[in-house]
Amino acid sequence: MNSFIKQLYACQKSNQSLVCVGLDPNMDKINALGVDLSTWLKSIVDSVAHQVCAFKPQIAHFSAISAEEELLQIIAYIHENYPDVPVVLDSKRGDIGTTAEKYADEAFKKYKADAVTVNPYLGQDSLQPFLDYADKGVIALCKTSNVGSNEFQNLILNNGQTLYQQVAENAANKWNDNNNVLLVVGATYPEELAKIRSIVGEMPLLVPGIGAQGGDVSATLKAGLNDNLEKSGLIISSSRGIIYAGDTSQNYASEASQACQHLNRQINDFWSI
């Protein structure tokens, strides 16, 4: 088990949480609260840090507003103040050769993320610079939560598998020499999630699509948990449904905390059904 996955599982156990909170700044909403970006980010992180298993800042939401420095600062803030909570940089990078190497360096050397999301559709050579960081997590897109994912990811290949199933197969059996590969699988597709779980065994899966995108918590847990049904195997990501729960209130941080608590209760109630 690599360092990122060890940290992830330890945090899930200590915080009794499978929830990953995405950090996606929207300056229209943040400005309406009368605070600056750094204050908002720290307030959100402080309000939910003991209720989550990871944070997931989305790089485009920062770079689009020239807030790379704030991204650096919030990752450093999490590492310093909540060192047990891993940080996933959501960048979905995918390229070849030296460009892929620079994208890997960006995630792990510049931003010092514990894991990064990547696009695997250029093949293993495009992933290798990320995979070579053996202590980091490499989270490859497999079956994404958006409606348009069916356009390519569900295509049937000559071997009878769908494209997303082939990605899962490669992730489990070709790319994972360092045991640091994870997959992105949307909560909006529980049937596909179950098929992917059957292919990859106990590999952790990052699951977006709960909350604003309409994914069902119970269906996700039934389809995606490890076979032993212990509280492991999933990283359930929610962004807008938590961080903007209080977007019209000066109590935005406490309302984010309440929204995170609510999602945690929904997840933990599964074991009492």
Please list the active-site residues.
Answer: 92
- Within 8 A by CB and 6+ apart from 205, the residues are 182, 183, 184, 185, 193, 196, 197, 224, 233, 234, 235
- Phi first, then psi, for residue 88 (nearest 5°) are -105, 120
Amino acid at position 199, single letter: I
**DSSP single-letter state for residue 52:** -
Helix (H, G, I), strand (E, B) or coil at 225: coil
Specify whether the CB–CB gap between 271 and 55 falls below 8 A. no
Give me the DSSP letters along 61-119: HHHTTT-HHHHHHHHHHHHHH-TTS-BEEEEEE---HHHHHHHHHIIIIIS--SEEEE-
Per-residue buried b or exposed e for 194-220, using 16+ beta carbons within 10 Å of the residue's own CB: ebbbebbeebbbbbbbbbebebebebb
* Residue 199: alpha-carbon gap to chain centroid: 20
Amino acid at position 188, single letter: T
Q: How far apart are CA 8 and CA 194, in angstroms?
A: 22
